[in-house]
Amino acid sequence: MAEYLEALFWSAAGLNLLIAAVLAGVFWRLQRIGRLSIADAKTRYSMFYAPLGLFAALFWFFGWVAVLDLSTGHGEVVLAAPALNLMLCAVATGVGRVVIGWRPLRW
């Protein structure tokens, strides 16, 4: 059972990063073609990614644990999974906002 919990733990983190990468790419593309300003793209990225990142952090992991009726042992994974994913959500929000506003250097 421990290998299932570990797989769920890392799949939630992977889902979190996948959502961040896809949304950053979409909003980067929208601001590059001129449909959104950089500020609007960054704001919308943050507004879309926060609830989706929280979904990956909380509901994905705990939903599958409940559906598969997995034992969490002493419960350390119950604290570690949301903590890791919430920190990933915060970092990915910052990195995504930087990527969206990225301008290549011109010499």
Q: Is residue 53 part of a domain?
A: yes
- Band (81; pLDDT cuts 50, 70, 90): confident
Contacts 24+ apart (CB under 8 A), 63-72: 64/8, 65/5, 65/8, 68/4, 70/1, 70/4, 70/5, 70/8, 71/1, 72/5
Q: Quote the pTM value.
A: 0.85
- 25 vs 59 pLDDT, higher one: 25
pLDDT of residue 48 exceeding 90, the answer is yes
Q: Is residue 106 part of a domain?
A: no
Q: Is residue 105 part of a domain?
A: no
Q: Note the pLDDT of residue 1.
A: 63
What's the structural domain count of the chain?
1
Q: Is residue 19 part of a domain?
A: yes
Tokens (6 digits) for 91: 């970092």
73: left (phi over 0), alpha (psi -120 to 50) or beta: left
Q: What is the DSSP letter of 101?
A: T
Q: Is residue 39 part of a domain?
A: yes
**What's the domain range around 48?**
2-100
